[in-house]
Amino acid sequence: MTPAGDDISQDPWAQRVYLTLLARDARYALAALEALVDLARSAPVPPAAWICFEDLLSFTGKVSRMLWPVEKKGKGQTDEGVRWRRARGAYLRDALAVEDESPLAAREVRNGSEHFDERLDEWIVHLPRPTLEDLQDGAITEIPAPPMRLVDAQAETIAVDGATLDLKLMAEELHRILARIEALEPSVAALPNPELAATLASLPPVPVIPFDAPAQKPDNIEAWLDEQKRTDSPPPDRHPEPGETQE
């Protein structure tokens, strides 16, 4: 068995796995984005739009982490895995020409959604509680707005607690990355089902043995050939038994 090294550029199987999984998540992110923009044009915005909102952030988050992985070693992880993870992120960003200014690198909106409870805590704990005397004296201070999720179908933007994401730029970047992946790994384009493509790409690599490859165990081959010779050879001459006529 050959162990994985530190150079992903020399491991075609690993490249295929990462690129195909990345393409799957990019496709799902685009599907969620397009559905969100379409639903957000309704008034009022239906609940299904907010499901697409979260799906979009979830799948763009997966794509982002594939390109910019967390480099800190976690519980149960190995030094080899951490080194490979760093190499994987650098390889994918280079192969797909992803720049640091990519909208996929912006995590403010996603973090705002994932940690929405923490934003809510900060708003509640600092929200003034006016008394009756405050009302009578007109001493009520300005009440800050609560953290909110917003979608603007006309501008094609979404926002969480003040952080904004441009959906047009995100869609362009996802389409560009998908086109690049399909050029590097044509099998992604050949299979319209992204889940099937990812499953097939993840199958363990099997070495291809050419027909003219030398036998790994010559003794076994020779024994098999000897057996074939004995099976194919004509039976020995037999003398007729008494009373038997030989033709």
- Could you tell me the two tokens for 62? 């997966």
- Mean pLDDT to the nearest integer, 157-161: 94
Is the pLDDT at 240 greater than 60? The verdict is: no
Torsion of CA 59, 60, 66, 69, to 10 degrees: -110
Cα Dmax for the chain: 138
Sequence-ordered alpha helix ranges (H) in the chain: 12-39, 47-67, 79-95, 108-114, 116-126, 132-137, 167-184, 187-190, 194-201, 218-232
Encode pLDDT of 166-201 as tens digits: 999 999 999 999 999 999 988 887 788 888 888 888
Q: How confident is the model at residue 1 (pLDDT cuts 50, 70, 90)?
A: very low
User: Could you give the C-alpha distances from 151 to 42, 135, 174, in angstroms and in order?
Assistant: 11, 35, 19
**pLDDT tens for each residue of 38-87:** 999 998 889 999 999 999 999 999 999 999 998 888 888 888 888 888 99
Phi and psi at residue 71, to the nearest 5°: -90, -10
Query: Rounded to whole angstroms, how far apart are CA atoms 222 and 224?
Result: 5
Picking from 89, 117, 91, 116, the residue whose alpha carbon sits closest to that of residue 104 is 89
CA 144 to chain centroid, in Å, comes to 39
Length of the chain: 247
> In 3-state terms, what secondary structure has residue 28?
helix
pTM score, whole prediction:
0.76
Strands lying side by side in the sheet with 163-166: 149-152, 157-160, 163-166
CA-to-CA distance for 16 and 201, rounded, in angstroms? 6
pLDDT at 15: 92
Query: Does the N-terminal peptide bond of residue 242 adopt cis geometry, omega within 30 degrees of 0?
Result: no
What pLDDT was estimated at residue 181? 95
Query: DSSP code of 147?
Result: P
CB 6 within 8 A of CB 84: yes
